[in-house]
Amino acid sequence: MLEKEKVTVLAIESSCDETAAAVVSEGREVLSNVISSQIDIHKLYGGVVPEIASRKHIEKINQVIEAALIESGKTLEEIDAVCVTYGPGLVGALLVGVGTAKALSYAAHKPLVGVHHIEGHISANYIANPDLEPPFLCLVASGGHSHLVLVKDYGDYAILGRTRDDAAGEAFDKVARAIGLGYPGGPKIDKLSREGNPEAIVFPKASIDGAPYDFSFSGVKSAVLNYINGCKMKQQPYSQADIAASFQKAVVDVLVEHTMLAAKDYKIHQIAIAGGVACNSNLRAGMEKACEKRGYSFYMPTPVLCTDNAAMIGAAGYYEYIKGVRHGLDLNAVPGLKLGE
Ligand code: KG4
Ligand code: ZN
């Protein structure tokens, strides 16, 4: 009998400050994953400058796609579909990926599949864990989002909780700036925390009445700023490392507690994490420990698949493609795209 041909997709991601392309087979096998990061440019400004991001995507996108195809050993003709992030994200940045994907789809006569960025982050877990199947609960924590998502089936999601204000990664970035660590703050706070005492300062852990799975990180961020200002006014020295470790503990504890509460209430015993903040060593360890204690299975992508990349878009795009999802050449960037739309 002839072996079934594998479905292989080319995926493109340009929603924020990484220009990325990947070739993925059967949703889980990464043949190439090329990422061109703009972090070195944006850190000069203390955060992502949207206009610069768009321009850099235009400069890089063709090279990145070409590199992804060469590295995968596939030609465009051998690809079954072109998948692209069409939201949420920065509109100018998204448009570069969407425009390029449409041109490739038209020129090579390949179906076009638009992918939700968060669905991509969640799907990074399929790559890292070949045995993972829905249903599972996924905490998505990145620079732009903090969502607790019930993955009912492939492409079928219920958002159980979300942030009311700042995303977790945004809080890491803002606190890092306040203590003079620079952008992006998450990895810097993570590293510095190892030298600090997480019990040194008690920062607030916000809960929202009537919405037990929602998050709020603006309070802890303000508390850090107030603490620093208080020390400066009293001319007291403060420890950057203690602030970093105590802030990180406040954020990680809430992320773990809310996820465990939702897992118990919804009786879901497979837990995953995703998004840039899922690189955080304390969150990875804290979640693993909490799951182990309760007998839950815990899944996490490798760090390179947590931050923005196109392999995750290829994984999500594959499941959309086999469900029959196809987009027309009128596909547009949707900066505020909601999950499930
Ligand atoms: O998923 P991502 O690359 O982009 C968005 O979709 O937003 O996430 C970037 C965010 C940044 O806020 C960054 O500070 C945070 O992820 N991040 C971390 C760590 N590594 C990246 N936050 C905490 N600890 C880390 N190790
Ligand atoms: Zn992202």
pLDDT at 178 over 60: yes
**Token pair for 64:** 């990145």
Distance between Cα 134 and ligand 1 center (Å) = 25
Neighbours of 86 (CB within 10 A): 25
pLDDT at 1 over 60: no
Ligand 1 pocket, mutate which of 163, 172, 306 (most atoms under 8 A from CB): 172
CA of 313, nearest ligand number: 2
What's the whole-model pTM score?
0.95
Q: Rounded to 5 degrees, what are φ and ψ at 126?
A: -70, -35
Sorting pLDDT into bands at 50, 70 and 90, what band is 337?
A: very high
Q: How far is CA 169 from CA 137, 174, 189, 279, 307, in A?
A: 20, 9, 11, 11, 11
Sorting pLDDT into bands at 50, 70 and 90, what band is 48?
A: confident
Mean pLDDT in the chain?
95
Question: Nearest-CA neighbor of 99 among 79, 111, 120, 85?
Answer: 85
Q: Which residues of 282-320 are buried (b: 16+ CB within 10 A; e: fewer)?
A: bbbebbbebbeeeebebbbbeeebbbbbbbbbbbbbbbb
- The residues with which 114 forms a beta bridge, in sequence order, are 84
Q: Side chain identity at 249, as an amino acid letter?
A: K
Tell me the residue length of the chain. 341
Sorting pLDDT into bands at 50, 70 and 90, what band is 46?
A: confident
Give mean pLDDT, residues 147-171.
Answer: 96
**Token pair for 55:** 């321009």
Q: What is the pLDDT of residues 257-266, one digit of tens each?
A: 999 999 999 9
Q: What is the pLDDT of residue 89?
A: 95
Question: Nearest-CA neighbor of 279 among 259, 309, 239?
Answer: 309
Give mean pLDDT, residues 78-90.
Answer: 97
Tell me, what DSSP letter sits at residue 276? Answer: G
Sorting pLDDT into bands at 50, 70 and 90, what band is 2?
A: low
* CB contact at 8 A, 63 and 28: no
Distance between Cα 104 and ligand 1 center (Å) = 30
Sorting pLDDT into bands at 50, 70 and 90, what band is 341?
A: low
Lateral strand order in the sheet of 112-116: 29-37, 18-25, 8-13, 81-87, 112-116
pLDDT at 42 over 60: yes
For the CA of 303, the closest atom of ligand 1 is 20
Pocket around ligand 1 at a 6 A CB cut-off: 16, 142-144, 169, 172-173, 184-187, 190, 275-277, 279-280, 307-308
Q: What is the pLDDT of residues 91-145, one digit of tens each?
A: 999 999 999 999 999 999 999 999 999 999 999 999 989 899 999 999 999 998 8
Distance between Cα 297 and ligand 2 center (Å) = 24
Give Cα 183 distance to the centre of its chain: 17
pLDDT at 62 over 70: yes
Cis peptide before 135 (omega within 30 of 0): yes
CA–CA distance, 190 with 158 (Å, rounded to integer): 30
Place of tokens 């309760």: 294
Neighbours of 243 (CB within 10 A): 24
